[in-house]
């Protein structure tokens, strides 16, 4: 069973090594980061007050296999947003994504006592969309040409999962 381990400064080199291009950085991190990703950007991200950041550990292989965060934590509205979902390059395609999403959702509903979690995913990321749907998320809306990147505009699905569904 996967485990969430707090993301610490000592873990930054791992993430820095996984993000190899401006396109991948935008897909993973959105406009919050700029390429090349730096130690200071990760420090600012990690230290955001309404966010919890985690490395994902698989004890069966004794390795960190990914990274995930939950941010925009709103205790009054009882909701938050899953983000920065990243499976290490050597562990992609092995079903970890769904497990990671289920793990962070359970954390949100049980530990943070939230009732709803949301996320955004670019429409061209078909494997991530399938992963989120398989974890119980539903598409709420489609934002056409939502994010400019270089000479393109990327469209986005907003998705959500409710505690009581």
Q: Where are the domains of the chain?
A: 3-162
Q: Give the distance from CA 125 to its chain's centroid.
A: 13
Task: Say what the pTM is.
Answer: 0.95
13, with CB counted inside 10 A (0-12, 13-18, 19+), is exposed
Q: What is the pLDDT of residues 126-159, one digit of tens each?
A: 999 999 999 999 999 999 999 999 999 999 999 9
Work out the end-to-end distance of the chain between its first and last CA atoms, rounded to an integer number of angstroms. Answer: 23
pLDDT of residue 55: 98
52, with CB counted inside 10 A (0-12, 13-18, 19+), is buried
Asked whether the predicted pLDDT for residue 165 surpasses 80, the reply is no
- The matching CATH number, chosen from 2.30.110.10, 3.40.630.30, 1.10.240.10, 3.30.420.40, for 3-162 is 3.40.630.30
Mean pLDDT computed over 74-82 = 98
Q: Which of 16, 111, 20, 129 is nearest to 70 (CA)?
A: 111
């Amino acid at each position: 069973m996967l485990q969430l381990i707090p993301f610490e400064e000592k873990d930054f080199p791992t993430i820095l090594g996984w993000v190899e291009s401006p396109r991948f950085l935008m897909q993973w991190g959105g406009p919050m980061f700029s390429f090349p990703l730096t130690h200071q950007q990760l420090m600012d991200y990690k230290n955001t007050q309404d966010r919890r950041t985690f490395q994902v550990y698989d004890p069966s292989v004794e390795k960190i296999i990914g990274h995930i965060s939950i941010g925009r934590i709103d205790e009054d509205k009882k909701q938050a947003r899953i983000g920065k979902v990243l499976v290490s390059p050597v562990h992609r395609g092995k079903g970890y994504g769904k497990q990671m999403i289920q793990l962070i959702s359970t954390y949100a509903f049980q530990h943070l006592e939230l009732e709803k979690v949301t996320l955004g995913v670019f429409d061209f990321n078909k494997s991530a969309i399938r992963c989120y749907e398989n974890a119980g998320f539903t598409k709420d809306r489609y934002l056409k040409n939502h994010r400019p990147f270089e000479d393109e505009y990327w469209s986005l699905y907003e998705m959500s999962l409710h505690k009581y569904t």
